[in-house]
Every structure is written in structure tokens, then in C-alpha cells.
Amino acid sequence: MSVQTDYYELLEVERNADDRTIKSAYRRIAMQCHPDKNPGCADSEARFKSVSAAYACLSDPQKRAAYDRFGHAAFENGGMGGGNGGGADFGDLGDIFETIFGGAFGGRQQQARRGADLRYDMEIGLDDAFHGKKTEIEIEVSTACEPCNGSGAEPGTSARRCNLCGGHGKVRAQQGFFMVERACPTCHGRGEVIESPCRACGGEGRVDQAQTLSVEIPPGVDNGTRIRLAGKGEAGPFGSPPGDLYIFLHVKRHALFERDGTTLITRCPISFTTAALGGEIEIPGLDGERHVIAIPSGIQSGKQLRKRGAGMPVLQGRGHGDLVVEIQVETPSKLSARQQELLRELQQTETGEECPQSRGFFDRIKAVWS
């Protein structure tokens, strides 16, 4: 049976040494005997493993308490683990050599929990979607507490490292043959404990506060367009980075135009005489111009006339879509006696060549009957 060196002797510290002293001693010795600084030296490699195993034990409050009571026997025959380097924790070692050896050990640092993203729904008119606009919104959102600067600690004080988890935010416990790791119940995974919470935020590091934000809506936006305001979401806990604010746009229905992408569509009723003889109509565009649309003679209902470049602007691009006018020929519902007389005269002069679609339809009927 081999004799194992006492962990306190390996780290050259007293048995009542605090966590900071143990960590400092470990860093000093580990840097001296690290294999990358002593290539090919078996003694340095063996000492490095022993020192790492000693630190893995003494930096864990639960393991240290067991070691102080039972010595190396606490980790034999299915004990808590960590003796002989088998359960060595290289988290702090990674911190030491991250800058020296390019981060090969990957320091196990606590990840800052980012604040939540927020959503804000905004309704705008089609004119605003065409031209774009600058506006302001008011929202109530969690922001970093000013008195404690988001730390959660009373001004003039600071958080200290959690004694239970040693600042790792996690603790391990043996359950049968398995080692279970869970969030530290004392610091709740943060790795730090606030002894004097800030009175303004109750130790949360953030408070709810009304904010007025400026929003710039670019020309060409559509229903569902999302605008991101970086860093304007909910503040992260204990000084962590804030989330983002996403503004979702909803374009109201317009009295004259419908929209299909960058195309503006309007339906224009005209009299049957204008449809027969032709003419012109004026359409007021969203660009402030009056667009003259020429109506060819003999136009039919449903025919679409297109005005190039008079539609919606291309979002974050160049140019505009088109303006489409869909013609709807309207039959008069009220006629004077004179108008009826004129229409009867017109009817008597019809030969069938004037309405080729009607003539073709009735020719197909005759073919079916015959």
C-alpha cells in the first residue's frame, strides 16, 4: 500500500488556511510544475497531477470537510471522489493558463445570464409605411439599478465568493455510484453571495422603470416587419447584459389602396360610356402626385392598368413598385327618358360586332343546341 502525501503539505499551506491562501498556493506551484513548462519531465508531471488533485479536494467545502475528518480514506472504496487526481477539477487551472497557453484548458467561468428580449406591437398607417417616420414609444422595462450600478449590493459594499461552492455556482454530491452536480443552493448558481442587498432594488440589481425610446421606421415596411433596438430589452440580473427590444409593425387598412408587396392596387369604377369611348382618370398617389391613367376605348371590367414606379418603395433598397388600377365597368341603375331613348337607338344599330365576347358566347350556345 503506497503512502499518500498530505494535501496540505503538497500545497505548502497550514490546515487552517482559507480558500484564498489555498488557491494562491495552488496557482504558484501549478505554474512551476506544469508539463507545458517542463516538457519531458516525469517528476514535474507527477507533481502537477498530485497538486491538482489536492486543490480539487481542498477547494470543495464538502470534500475538504470529509478529508479533514477521514483523510484519504474518505475517497477510497466509492467515496466522494477526487483523490489521486481521479476527480481533479481543472476549472481554476484553466483560468491560470488561459492567457499563457492559448486557453487550452478552457476556464470554467460563470456565464452572464443575459436579460430577456421584449416585444412591442405598433400600428401605423400605409402613408407612414410609404414615407417612413420617426416616432417615440413609452414602455415600462426592467433597467439596471442606478444606486448599486446593477450589482445588487448596497453602495459601498460588494458581493463575496460563495463559501459552499467556492465560486463555481455548482456543488456535487455522491448518490450511489453516481456523482450528481446541481446548482449551489446558497448562491443559486451565481457563485457569489450578497450580504448587504441594495435597498433600492432589493438585491436584484434591476428595477422597473418607464422609458421613452425613439424609433425610426424606414420607408417600405410591411405587416410583420420587425425593428430591433439592441440593448433596450430587460436588464440582465446583477449587471448582466440587457436583452433586445423587438418592435413588430402592423399596417392599418387604407381607404383607397390595397398592397401586394411593393404593388399598390386600387379598384376604379367607370361608366359604360367611358369604357366604350375611352378617357382618363386621376389617381392621387401616396407619393403626393396625381397620376393620370389613360383608359383605352372598349376596356372591359377586370382589366388592370399599370403605372410604373408609383407603388411602394423597396425596403432598404432602391426604386418603387407599381400602381395598378383595376377597372370595374358600372352599369347605370337610373336613366332618364332621354337616355333610355338614346340607348334604344344605339341598340337598333348594333350588329353584334361591337361585343365580340358576347357574340362568341352565344355562338357556343347555338352549337350546343344544334
Taking only the tens of pLDDT, the chain with its 370 residues reads: 345 788 888 889 888 888 888 888 888 888 888 877 888 888 888 888 888 888 888 888 888 888 887 777 777 654 544 444 444 444 444 444 443 443 333 333 445 578 889 999 999 999 999 999 999 999 998 888 888 888 888 888 888 888 888 888 888 877 666 778 888 888 878 888 888 888 888 888 888 889 999 999 999 999 999 999 999 999 888 778 889 999 999 999 999 999 999 999 999 999 989 999 999 999 999 999 999 999 999 999 999 999 999 999 999 888 999 999 999 999 888 889 999 999 898 888 887 777 777 667 767 777 788 6
Partners of 133 in the beta sheet? 217
Please count the CA atoms within 13 angstroms of the CA of 202 that sit on its side-chain side.
2
pLDDT at site 258? 95
CB 43 within 8 A of CB 29: no
Domains along the chain with CATH numbers: 7-97 (1.10.287.110), 111-150+204-253 (2.60.260.20), 258-369 (2.60.260.20)
Q: Is 198 annotated as ligand-binding?
A: yes
Give 44-53 contacts, CB < 8 A, sequence gap 24+.
49/85, 49/88, 50/5, 50/10, 50/85, 51/10, 51/11, 51/26, 52/85, 52/88, 52/90, 52/93, 53/7, 53/82, 53/83, 53/84, 53/85, 53/86, 53/87, 53/88
**57 annotated as a binding-site residue:** no
145 has binding-site annotation: yes
Vertex 171: Cα angle to 169 and 174 (nearest 5) = 165
Q: Is 33 annotated as a binding residue?
A: no
**Is 268 marked as a binding-site residue?**
no
| CB atoms closer than 10 angstroms to residue 362 | 11
pLDDT of the residue at 77: 55
Amino acid at 144: A
**DSSP-assigned letters across all residues of 33-77:** H-TTTSTT-HHHHHHHHHHHHHHHHHTSHHHHHHHHHHGGGGGSS
With a CB cutoff of 8 Å and minimum separation 6, the contacts of 253 are none
**What is d(CA 296, CA 281) in angstroms, rounded to the nearest whole number?**
11
Instruction: Report whether 355 belongs to an annotated binding site.
Output: no
